[in-house]
Structure 1
């Protein structure tokens, strides 16, 4: 590396190991970029970035089982706005692209595109510029959606949860026990129980079944 060159630390997130390996290899070949972490789901991504040494995230939107990638993007962008997020997804539908950019992603690259798109997008995002894959067609309606926000994804109550509560919710819905959640998040089982009670109260829910329906209805998790 040349003297004085900034080294961007990159996190690669995808539920397929071979995809993570391919992206890591490609990114590590670029001067000034180094993949320092790999994760397989949105929950672990959010937990990893809290350590404070990530500059750029390259992430898929659908990494089951776990939190919906669109929700992960919004959560990270609100909590750590200096982290640059670039989506690398098979989804070319405008609904996904518009939501991702509105929620805080700076770039969106299609997995079906040439590797040069990923490299170019990465460098643009690193420079603080938004970048959409050249194979993505953006309409005036898309621009309006990105500017004003989606009209059918009402998750204000969910976003009112604390960061820790949002980390717990997918784990609860996916059937993790209090002990398993406590071990994963390095907290006590009593703390898990308290967070669970707060989640149910804030979302105005009375049962685990209602919480599951809420999570699926609002597309908060992927399975």
Structure 2
């Protein structure tokens, strides 16, 4: 039996995952967490899990930082990222940080089940569409692309802005202040030498980001 720890701050998402997993005889949800603090508490309590299914956009500590923290304390513990961001660069950063797998939240249920099983077995799994893009980027790395120099948090906020989220929405989703979101927004626009959210949307469409 694969014992799963689900980390996502949205109850409706956790319930949806549990309904999908209820159809599988070999996967059991052992515990749930809504932020990084709860994730680390479950791990530090000594409960045995086979896989952590982790959302990158939880409140507090960012997903990338949490991956690094977990791998520093529990190097062999498998982490599967389950993210609303289906962008190859974000997936690549997560894998480099130590995640064993990455799938998007709009993936088919069969992909979720396969990914959990693969990661629990000590293997890696990346959503096929993302894997193809990551392979292409490895052959022709977009080093000159302005978005390549963004931090993980800036890239995350970039994706949310392109998705139509306003500063207040992003602050709520990421559980950070409006001022912090505005600062990140200004920084990423400056780094990319753009001028507005409309420019960001146009850039994302032109470079086929967050599709």
Normalised by the length of structure 2, the TM-score is 0.62
Runs of 4+ in 1 over 6 A off after TM superposition: none
Q: Check 1:144–1:123 CA distance in 2 against 1; reply closer, same or farther (3 A cut).
A: farther
Quote the Cα distance in structure 2 between the aligned partners of 1:86 and 1:132. Answer: 9
C-alpha distance after superposition, 1:38-70 (max 9, x if no partner): 111122112211122222100110012x11011
Q: Check 1:142–1:112 CA distance in 2 against 1; reply closer, same or farther (3 A cut).
A: farther
Quote the Cα distance in structure 2 between the aligned partners of 1:28 and 1:87. Answer: 20
What is residue 49 of structure 2 aligned with on the other side? 54
Q: Check 1:152–1:91 CA distance in 2 against 1; reply closer, same or farther (3 A cut).
A: closer
Q: Which of 13, 18, 21 is matched with 2:12 structurally?
A: 18
* Superposition RMSD in Å: 3.1
Residue range with higher mean Cα deviation, 73-82 or 20-29: 20-29
Is the Cα–Cα contact under 8 Å of residues 77 and 104 in structure 1 kept in the other structure? yes
Could you list the runs of 5+ residues in structure 1 that have no partner in the other structure?
A: 1-6, 155-173, 176-212, 218-223
Residues 1:30 and 2:37 are matched in the alignment: no
What's the CA shift for 1:143? 7.8
Could you list the runs of 5+ residues in structure 2 that have no partner in the other structure?
A: 142-147, 153-175, 178-182, 188-211
Residues 1:89 and 2:83 are matched in the alignment: yes
Q: Which of 103, 119, 124 is matched with 1:125 structurally?
A: 119
Partner-residue secondary structure (3-state), 1:135? helix
Q: Check 1:138–1:33 CA distance in 2 against 1; reply closer, same or farther (3 A cut).
A: same
What is residue 155 of structure 2 aligned with on the other side? none
Q: How many residues were matched structurally?
A: 152
What is residue 100 of structure 2 aligned with on the other side? 106
What's the CA shift for 1:98? 1.0
C-alpha distance after superposition, 1:5-39 (max 9, x if no partner): xx221101111101001112222432222101111
Q: Which of 127, 132, 135 is matched with 1:139 structurally?
A: 135
Residues 1:72 and 2:66 are matched in the alignment: yes
Normalised by the length of structure 1, the TM-score is 0.59
Q: Check 1:67–1:144 CA distance in 2 against 1; reply closer, same or farther (3 A cut).
A: farther
More helix by share: 2
Is the Cα–Cα contact under 8 Å of residues 11 and 39 in structure 1 kept in the other structure? yes
Q: Which of 26, 37, 43 is matched with 2:37 structurally?
A: 43
Is the Cα–Cα contact under 8 Å of residues 89 and 134 in structure 2 kept in the other structure? no
